[in-house]
Amino acid sequence: MKSNIKLNIGFWVPRPSRGTILAEKLRQKGHKVIIYHFNPINGEEENVKQINYGIKHTLELLNTRHDIYYTAHTFVPALQLAINKLIKNKPFIFNPGGVIWEYYKERSNNSKFNLLKSSIYPKILNLILNKADSIIGNSKFLAGKFIEKYPQYQNKITSIYNGINYETIDSGKPISNLWPKSKIKILSVLTLNFNNKTDGAILLIKAFEELCERNLDASYLIAAKSSNIKILNNIKLIIKKSKFKDRILLLENRTDIPNILKSADLFLYATPENSSDSLPRSLLEAQAAGIPSITTNTTGCNEIINHNQNGLIVEYNKSEIAKASLKLIKDPTKSLEMANNAYKNVRKKFNWDDMANNYEKKFLEISEKYHKY
């Protein structure tokens, strides 16, 4: 593989933020990267172009001239690139971003996504996977899930860890008096758009109640990102019915998560096994903020946390979460050691430079099969 080759790469993403940092890292290596996305553009943005769904924009894609394409986290661009591969034989990399069949199963409960309930969806997904030159999971867990479900494509399935924005986390400033008054401040940052992710939030609330039953002087803040009013109202109702409701606070769609992270003493995260999550970003960010963390042994959480080194991993069970929380709270020395290990480990393992290097190798490897340099 020739390392001096400079590629012309097209990123096909739902919004610029899905690819901005990776694209910039690749540009720093001398590659040209154009980002195509669906959101309206405010003013002129260099190397960014807006497109839309539909036949017209699929035809526009066929007229673009890139050595290779990349798409992440969304279904329609991947289908468009599969069509581009069929007609123009243009290679592409597909990053599903999560357990995609679980994700679309969740979304299919929304009437806007009735198509996903039909028999057409698995056929389209199979077409995408068949035509993709590489399928990249953001965790070994996700790559394993794809190999398990689609063994016929195992030779082109691999994993590359995402990086996270440490500068943003490091810029956070603790917020005083955000939690209900207590000695121990416990935090969860959760995305609650679908019902099975709500199950994790409910489990954590029950675990916190169990801690309170043991007379622990603690309060619990849930920072929830969600556009689903029904789910948020359900969580509010559960909190309202709790006999410890005065110690639980739900904050919706906050933009100051780094500040909230910097204010917490303990971070809790739980996700059910059938979640579309594969590598929870909020858990990565909690580790980057140096917060002692407890998570469940589901999805890719154990790729972030090494048990008893930079956090604790427990069964998906409220009592196990409560027991582990009490263990860290009662041992501040061990808790601090884990927090320091978390801070170092996440920067070593989940950084943008390594991610860009690994993607560059994959882009070059695939491109050389199609082009003579």
26 and 67 both lie in a single domain: yes
Q: Among 74-78, 97-101, 170-174, which is the least confidently predicted range?
A: 97-101
Q: pLDDT of 262-305, one tens digit each?
A: 999 999 999 988 887 889 999 999 999 999 999 999 999 999 99
pTM: 0.91
Q: Among 96-100, 222-226, 251-255, which is the least confidently predicted range?
A: 96-100
- Say yes or no to pLDDT of 214 above 90: yes
Strands, E assignment, the chain: 8-12, 32-37, 48-50, 68-72, 92-95, 134-137, 157-159, 184-191, 218-225, 248-252, 266-269, 293-296, 312-314
What is the rounded distance in angstroms from the CA atom of residue 260 to the CA atom of residue 184? 14
CB atoms within 10 A of CB 8: 14
Task: Please report, for the domain that includes residue 135, its CATH number.
Answer: 3.40.50.2000
180 and 46 both lie in a single domain: no
Does some domain include residue 106? yes
139 and 244 both lie in a single domain: no
What phi, psi does 15 have (nearest 5°)?
-155, 155
The answer to whether 74 and 15 have CB atoms below 8 angstroms apart is: no
23 and 89 both lie in a single domain: yes
Ramachandran assignment for 168, one of left (phi > 0), alpha (psi -120 to 50 degrees), beta (any other): alpha
- pLDDT band with cut points at 50, 70 and 90 for residue 373: low
192 and 335 both lie in a single domain: yes
Q: pLDDT of 306-322, one tens digit each?
A: 999 999 999 999 999 99
What is the rounded distance in angstroms from the CA atom of residue 278 to the CA atom of residue 70? 19
The answer to whether 160 and 136 have CB atoms below 8 angstroms apart is: yes
CB atoms within 10 A of CB 88: 12
Confidence (pLDDT) at 195: 66
Confidence (pLDDT) at 216: 93
Confidence (pLDDT) at 101: 67
146 and 216 both lie in a single domain: no
Does some domain include residue 186? yes
Confidence (pLDDT) at 73: 72
- pLDDT band with cut points at 50, 70 and 90 for residue 19: confident
122 and 223 both lie in a single domain: no
Radius of gyration of the chain (CA): 22
144 and 179 both lie in a single domain: no
212 and 81 both lie in a single domain: no
124 and 243 both lie in a single domain: no
**Mean pLDDT of the chain, nearest integer:** 89
**Winning range, highest mean pLDDT, from 49-58, 175-184, 237-246:** 237-246
Give the residue numbers spanning the domain of 116: 8-163+351-370
180 and 250 both lie in a single domain: yes
Q: pLDDT of 83-120, one tens digit each?
A: 999 999 999 999 988 877 666 665 555 545 555 555 67
170 and 290 both lie in a single domain: yes
In terms of DSSP bridges, do strands 293-296 and 312-314 run parallel, antiparallel, or are they unpaired?
parallel
Mean pLDDT of 254-264: 96
What is the rounded distance in angstroms from the CA atom of residue 85 to the CA atom of residue 131? 7
- How many domains, in total, are found in the chain? 2
